[in-house]
Amino acid sequence: MTINNELVKSMKIYAEENNVPIMSDEGISYLTAFCMKNHIKNILEIGTAIGYSSILMAYTDDKVNVTTIERDEKRYLEAIKNVKRAKLEDRIELIYNDALDVKIEGEFDLIFIDAAKAQNIKFFEKYKKNLSKNGVIITDNMKFHGLIDKKEEEIESRNLRQLVRKIKEYKRYLDNNKEFETIYKNIGDGLAISIRKRG
């Protein structure tokens, strides 16, 4: 399937103009290459925003199916429009709900966590049962725009300090996880790639 470059460009402009956080160019290039290299076919995404990463992942192969969850109505409605424009309605299922409330059936070979950063542990714990045997969980924003490497006192906003603490807590959770092994990629805003430990 050929990429609709006009659509991709217009989604990036919309995101910029409306302050919608979408994956960085570097991050999405890595993610889509990862999907192709690992023959990823079934994807669960937590955090659709306007459908940008869902659409680009679906473009990696005609057999890719994406289920994606968004709790913000305006973004969800925008994602519906974009998925229609991309002619991917039959391969991208958009769910309007809080990912912590919705029940998702089935198994996925990639679970992409890109929603409220403070909830990452909860998303991971809730959705690991939906991961196929050799599946991968990828989490974005592990660097949190460079704030992770800053001293706490250098971060002025209390909210941001709390979020940074939460991301560090998530990293400790991944590092000490008995079931999963995680590697970190210094790509885009920082990716964590978690796979089940063997044996």
* Residues near ligand SAM, by CB under 6 A: 21-23, 47, 49, 52-53, 69-72, 75, 98-100, 114-116, 119
Minimum distance from residue 76 beta carbon to ligand SAM (Å): 8
Cα(first)–Cα(last) distance of the chain, in Å? 39
> Which residue in 108, 114, 106 sits closest to 138, CA to CA?
114
Q: Which residue is nearest to ligand SAM (CB)?
A: 47
Minimum distance from residue 27 beta carbon to ligand SAM (Å): 8
Minimum distance from residue 168 beta carbon to ligand SAM (Å): 19
Residue number, 52 or 180, with CB nearest to ligand SAM: 52
Inter-residue long-range contacts of 125-128, CB under 8 Å, 24+ positions, other chains counted: 126/99, 126/100, 127/44, 127/46, 127/99, 128/179, 128/180
Residue number, 145 or 197, with CB nearest to ligand SAM: 145
Residue number, 134 or 162, with CB nearest to ligand SAM: 162
Dist. CA 111–CA 118, nearest whole Å: 17
> Which residue in 89, 51, 83 sits closest to 70, CA to CA?
51
Minimum distance from residue 197 beta carbon to ligand SAM (Å): 27
Structure tokens given for 27: 């991050």
Contact 64, 55 (CB under 8 A): no
Residue number, 100 or 160, with CB nearest to ligand SAM: 100
Minimum distance from residue 98 beta carbon to ligand SAM (Å): 4
Residue number, 116 or 187, with CB nearest to ligand SAM: 116
